[in-house]
Amino acid sequence: MHRRSVPCVFSLVAAFALASLPRLSAGETPYLDPAGVKGPLVIAGGGELPAPILERFVKLAGGKEALLVIIPTASELDEKQLSREAEKAKLLQPWIDLGVERIHIMHTRSRAKANEEEFIGPLRFATGVWIEGGQQSRLANTYLATEFQRELYSMSARGGVIGGTSPAAAIMSRVMIE
């Protein structure tokens, strides 16, 4: 194994371990499940993604029957920008092109909102969550140690797929480089 591939392998192992964490109660200490992650991960580099990556993600999420949640929080887009139809269409189109009809965009920068039942509700039924590119610190600042994070773990535990570009890979591990 080349020395450069060791950090990549370590990162993937850490990502699988983190995704296997169970739903936590307040004050409960997380542990790593030696049985591993229940749901698959599709973690890709940044930039333009090859079609087979998105196709594989959709297949793992249930194909045309998938219920996807798209999370653009790592991007520079704010909630006002995401309320514009053109911005929504850009996020939704790749998934629509793959035949997915049930897609929900979840975005906030408010930790309080990330704990609200109304906000996290779509995660309870999701079969796949895709985390868009940008800065992983935006994800961490918003979602870590919230009901959103706990529900994401629950989705994975029931076999849902988590995927995304570089911020998704970075946020999956306990140690994150900004």
Q: Which residues contact 151 (CB under 8 A, 6 or more apart)?
A: 23, 120, 123, 124
Is 36 in contact with 16 (CB distance < 8 Å)? Answer: yes
pLDDT, position 37 = 55
Q: Which residues contact 30 (CB under 8 A, 6 or more apart)?
A: 21, 22, 24
Kindly report, residue by residue over 43-72, the tens digit of the pLDDT. Answer: 887 778 889 999 999 999 999 999 999 999
Encoded tokens for 142:
């918003």
pLDDT tens, residue by residue, 115-160: 999 999 999 999 999 999 888 889 989 998 999 999 998 999 999 9
Mean pLDDT to the nearest integer, 165-175: 68
How many other C-beta atoms can be found within 10 angstroms of the C-beta atom of residue 81? 14
**pTM score of the predicted model:** 0.75
pLDDT (average), residues 156-169: 87
Domains in the chain (CATH in brackets) are: 5-22+34-171 (3.40.50.880)
pLDDT > 70: percent of the chain? 74
- Within 61-152, strands assigned E span 67-71, 102-105, 128-131
Contact 118, 85 (CB under 8 A): no
Question: Of 128, 123, 118, which is closest to residue 60 (Cα–Cα)?
Answer: 128
Report d(CA 146, CA 63) in Å as an integer: 29
- In this prediction, residue 25 has a pLDDT band, given cuts at 50, 70 and 90, of low
* Rounded-to-integer distance, Cα 58 and Cα 114, Å: 25
Q: How far apart are CA 166 and CA 139, in angstroms?
A: 12
